[in-house]
Structure 1
Amino acid sequence: MAGTFKGKANAPLPVKLNSPKAWSPDSPTLYEVSVKLFDGKKLIEEVKSYVAYRDIRMAKTPDGHQRMFLNGKPLFQYGPLDQGWWPDGLYTAPTDEALLFDIVKTQEMGFNMIRKHVKVEPARWYYHADRLGMLVWQDMPSGDMGNRWEVRPGVIREGVEKVRTPESEEIFKTEWKEIINEFKFFPSIVVWVPFNEAWGQFKTTEITQLTRELDPSRLINSASGGNFEMEGSTVVGDILDLHNYPDPVMPDPKIFGEKSLMVLGEFGGLGLPIEGHTWQQKDNWGYQSFSTADELKARYSALIDDLANYIPRGLSAAVYTQTTDVEVETNGLMTYDRQIIKIAVEELKKMHEKLYQ
């Protein structure tokens, strides 16, 4: 037992542990908590949960670039784009074991992060991420398209901010508040992503400020993939996030690296349809498709070699598309039914080791 603390009902209770162990992918330490309410000496109610000690922030390294720091140390984050789709339940996993399976396999492949893409999972998914030590970037589900998409940082064009109705704005804000307030207690979540590829993006500065007010303890990727709201050469929020398929790229470190985190929010998307394991037999696609697993492995390995070359230049994180095939998208590392892993787990882990050196 780390300690026992007493206080009055309806009042804050300060809790301090001597030399607590920090939560991280290498050591996902969770402290069990039991909160008991007494009326005199009579126990009225007891609630059990857990907490973790974890710090995520941006800080400058000696090379002059901003990096992601976890618990005071720079850590390159690399993970798959995870849409959380299932062939038999679409957005609903068949079992708790299925939720766990995707995270376990992702970790075994040598990833230390998952970008949960435009979907919010049940709390059990984040619990599994907490106890396994998987970092999570959490997207806001997208909607209300129609605005233009500008992918070049620092370039201003008309029509990139969606003009929403007051009702639409209020719905977005209400749901985003609910997501943050409901899930900010999970230590695995380290980045909030309110907008992706301009879909329904509006009042970016205001939404970023709202996100910061709701949770000042995490990093904010205000506009993943484009429509960057800039203040000079500094992006609103913490992260300047480019998307590019299939090859990796990064923002110009000489222009953007001093004040913003530079990440590659989507890349890859290498496709390999496997007969008997596709959603449909024809018209499947990837950003670059192959006919054999050996071809896929060789191209993926080359992408990782290229990606590794960007890290010394200031790249802080990257997201590969994607965890599994999703209906006609056959660019997953696993098939839609999770029956086949297209590149052996141990080979993927070996490839990824160079990213963390």
Structure 2
Amino acid sequence: MFTMGGAVFPLLAIAGLATAATPYAPQTPPLTTDWTEGLGTNPWPEYPRPQLQRSQWQSLNGIWEYRNAESSGAIGAPPFGQELDTEVMIPSCLESGLSGLQGQNTLYSWLSTNFTVDDDWDGQSILLNFGAVDYEASVFINGQNVGLHRGGYFEFSVDATEYINFGADNELLVFVHDPTDGEGAVIPIGKQTLNQRHIFYRPCSGIWQSVWLEAAPADHISRLDLTADMDGEVTVTVHSASGNATSVEVTVEEGDETIASETGTANSEFKFTVPDIQRWSPDSPSLYNVTVTLGDDQVRSYTGFRTISKGTVDGVVRPLVNGEFRFIFGTLDQGYWPDGLYTPPNREAMTYDLQLLKDLGFNMVRKHIKVEPALFYRACDELGLLVIQDMPSLAVQPNAAQQLEFVRQLELLVNQLKNYPSIMSWVIYNEGWGQILTTYPEFDLTERVRELDPTRLVNSVTGWYDHGAGDYSDNHHYANPQCGTPFYSTPSSPYDPERIGIQGEFGGIGHNVTIENLWNVQATISTIPETYEIGSSIEVWNYRSRVLLQELRDQIQRFACSAAVWTQTTDVEGEVNGLMTYDRRLKRVDERQWREDIEGLYSAARGRVG
């Protein structure tokens, strides 16, 4: 028998009645990538959280078991001790081919695995960590309900110590509910939908980021807030599990050499200065290792010394990186994969996209209404790609309770990602999706984001319904840029010279391809004609791209354009406007031409300064 919240449940896996789960086998997705084959059963073996890393850890990624739970009532009868129906890959989206399921309408799910904890960990706290579960996760260990988390993009941890059998088998069972945009749900979902159409895609349910265990002392570091500015000042808050005012030590290292060390108090902010630092920038992404010690707990982290701000340069409000204006140019990056959906096949695949952008000369990526695994931001830190980070959007305007939940998750976003040097701006609302248009909540939300993170800029409303909040005056216009200009098209707003002029989205030029490079789902193929503009060949696509980039350059020279976002890195499902096709096998870009044109944007911006 097992207990949960005082209730008693029978052990149903009676000898002779249990059936083996169907073995894992990847399903054939509508489109593959070069990474689809040969991934094996040890996905994402890297330590998942580079900003707070412990030496004693154990990955729980790999083959788990899955059962469709059918309804919310299933949580009242957890399948403790049972073989579930089929094996599944974790992490993965249950709707993806790589999961082994390629499910549809996976609204309620049971996921289970078994693990052992070495006797050497006995006497320490055992922390069970999830990178992200979409959308709501109830966690059971050895028959006990140990935690509930809500929010499909955010990491969470459970102190599993009192539920663990050391040196023996342990059962981990997770109940997942993901309504996406069904059941009347209004939750942060980004581009996910149960009803796929042109710019809205197949959803991602389940445990789609890494799961791992780690051992730590009872009073351990539960969160680390760490930033460093261009002058070498480090600002730290070390949060502890106990909340006590314990002494902590922070050391900054360059290679094997400790170059600074400071002692402070846990749960209180303190500052110190590191001399003779190399600044982090897109041109020179210098990073420094950091070690933090609280009692018997020690974690590894890292930082980069840089300052993001805004200022008036020759009469124009500009974004500043380390006190200097540089034109910021990147792509709209959706972060979708045809074989894994939200979950890239592996780290190599994920960094392939970023390296392409860097090689072409982009210095930024706009992470579009999705939150990536922590290793994505680490890669941007290492490559020197600035990140404009969107909050995942709601599909429709929320009621009061739904808005409160949106705000709670916005705070999770900022607190989870604010240590990464590459992130330069937060985006609250995209094109009015989920934005309340009667009371203008973006003003209060902007101030809340600034309270949580005063070190970055805030783009309150990218594209539409701009009432004057935030640091950017943002325009979306695909047919041609309207960036910091004295002309605009609705529903975008006139350029506001008191804020930074940015072309938040433009381009979007399409080019159709043969079925070998298309998401082979007829419903989405039928939406390809909805593309803003379609070129008849790759040569024409590059010609039209050059025309738009030359027009953008002209607006940099003539007006107040400071940043721009080209749509987009890759095709996604029925969208055929990427620098690459969805499978990453066909590059549309004439790489030499694009490097020249991107450098032309930077040259034009340099010509506007002093």
Alignment TM-score, normalising by the size of structure 2: 0.52
Are 1:269 and 2:526 matched, yes or no? Answer: no
* CA drift at 1:304: 0.7
The verdict on how the C-alpha distance between 1:143 and 1:37 changes in structure 2, with shifts beyond 3 A counting, is closer
Q: Could you tell me whether the CA contact under 8 Å between 2:473 and 2:496 is conserved in 1? A: no
Q: What does the per-residue CA deviation read over 1:163-197, in whole Å, with 9 as the maximum and x for residues that have no partner?
A: x3221011101110001000000010001000000
* Equivalent residue, structure 1, for 2:473: 240
Amino acid at match of 1:239: Y
The question of 1:25 aligning with 2:282 is answered yes
Letter in 1 for 2:429: F
1:216-275 alpha-carbon deviations (Å, 9 max, x no partner)? 11111100001111xxxxx21100100001211124459745311011000110111221
Match of 1:98 in 2: 349
Point out the more displaced range, 243-252 or 79-88. Answer: 243-252
1:127 paired with 2:378, answer yes
Partner residue, 2:532: 287
Q: What is the aligned partner in structure 2 of residue 50 from structure 1? A: 302
**Alpha-carbon distance in structure 1 between the residues aligned to 2:326 and 2:578:** 25
SS of 1:316 mapped into structure 2: strand
Distance in 2, Cα, partners of 1:177 & 1:37: 26
- Residue 9 of structure 1 deviates from its aligned partner by 5.1
How far apart are residue 45 of structure 1 and its match? 3.0
Which runs of structure 2 are paired with 1:108-123 in the superposition (5 Å)?
108-123=359-374
- The alpha-carbon distance between structure 1 residues 243 and 22, as it changes in their structure 2 partners (threshold 3 A), is same
Question: If you compute each CA radius of gyration, which structure gives the higher value, 1 or 2?
Answer: 2
Specify the code of the residue in structure 2 equivalent to 1:273.
N
The percentage of aligned residue pairs carrying the same residue is 39
Partners of 2:511 and 2:535 within 8 A in 1: yes
**Map of 2:430 onto structure 1:** 196
Question: Which of 385, 398, 408 lines up with 1:174 in the alignment?
Answer: 408
**1:106, CA displacement in angstroms?**
0.9
2:485–2:561: 8 Å Cα contact kept in structure 1?
A: no
Greater relative contact order: 1 or 2 (C-alpha under 8 angstroms, separation 6 or more)? 1
- Tell me the secondary structure at the aligned position of residue 108 of structure 1: helix
C-alpha deviation, 1:110, in angstroms: 1.2
User: Structure 1: which 5+ residue stretches go unaligned?
Assistant: 39-43, 146-161, 230-234
Q: Matches of 1:218 and 1:246 in 2, distance apart?
A: 30
Which residue of 2 is the match for residue 227 of structure 1?
Answer: 465
Give the equivalent residue in structure 1 for 2:171: none
Q: Which has the higher strand share?
A: 2
Cα–Cα, structure 1 residues 2 and 306, in superposed 2: closer, same or farther, change >3 Å?
farther
Deviates more, 1:12-21 or 1:78-87: 12-21
- Which residue does the alignment assign to 2:581? 335
CA-to-partner distance for each residue in 1:86-110, whole Å, 9 max, x for gaps? 1011111110111111110111111
Aligned to 1:314: 560
Structure 1 residue 86 corresponds to structure 2 residue 337? yes
Residues 1:34 and 2:291 are matched in the alignment: yes
Match of 2:263 in 1: 7
State the distance in 1 between where 2:545 and 2:423 align.
27
- Taking the TM superposition and a 5 Å limit, the aligned residue runs for 1:152-163 are 162=397
Over 3 Å off, 4+ runs? 11-14, 251-258
Deviation at residue 19 of structure 1 after TM alignment: 2.6
Q: CA deviation at 1:305?
A: 0.5
The equivalent of 2:550 in structure 1 is 305
Partners in 2 of 1:78 and 1:184 — Cα distance?
21
Correspondent of 1:186 among 420, 441, 448? 420
Question: Per the alignment, do residues 221 and 6 of structure 1 end up closer, same or farther by CA in structure 2, a change over 3 Å counting?
Answer: closer
Counterpart amino acid of residue 278 in structure 1: L
Residues 129, 220 of structure 1: CA spacing in aligned structure 2 closer, same or farther, 3 A cutoff?
same
Root-mean-square deviation (CA, aligned residues, Å) is 1.7
Farther off after superposition, 277-286 or 304-313: 277-286
Q: CA deviation at 1:140?
A: 0.8
Match status 1:278 vs 2:497: no
Q: Deviations over 1:311-336 (max 9, x none)?
A: 12110101011000000000001000
Say which SS state the counterpart of residue 354 (structure 1) adopts: helix
Q: 1:66 to 1:253 in 2, by over 3 A?
A: farther
Read off the aligned partner of 2:349 and give its amino acid letter.
A
1:149 matched to which residue of 2? none
Moved more, 80-89 or 6-15: 6-15
Contact in 2 for aligned 1:269/1:331 (Cα 8 Å)? yes
Q: Distance in 2 between matches of 1:51 and 1:340?
A: 36
1:16 has 2:265 as partner: no
Which stretch has the larger CA shift, 113-122 or 274-283? 274-283
Preserved contact between residue 108 and residue 346 of structure 1 (Cα < 8 Å): no
Distance of aligned partners of 1:251 and 1:327 in 2 relative to their CA distance in 1, 3 Å threshold:
same
Matched, 1:75 2:326: yes
* Distance across 1 between alignment mates of 2:282 and 2:352: 17
Corresponding residue SS for 1:86: coil
Deviates more, 1:286-295 or 1:74-83: 286-295
Distance 2:318 2:294 in 1: 43
CA deviation vs aligned residue, 1:266-304 (integer Å, no higher than 9, x gap):
011011122110113743243110121110111111111
Q: Secondary structure at the match of 2:429?
A: coil
Change (3 A) 1:58 1:253: farther
**AA aligned opposite 1:18:** P
Sort the Cα spacing of 1:14 and 1:222 in 2 relative to 1 into closer, same or farther, 3 A: closer
Structure 2 alignment gaps of length 5 or more: 1-256, 488-493, 604-610
Cα–Cα, structure 1 residues 4 and 317, in superposed 2: closer, same or farther, change >3 Å?
Answer: closer
> CA offset at residue 344 of structure 1?
2.9
SS in 2 for 1:341: coil
CA distance in 1, matches of 2:429, 2:444: 12
Structure 1 equivalent of residue 443 of structure 2: 205
Deviation at 1:121, TM superposition (A): 0.4
| Cα distance between partner residues in 1 of 2:533 and 2:294 | 59
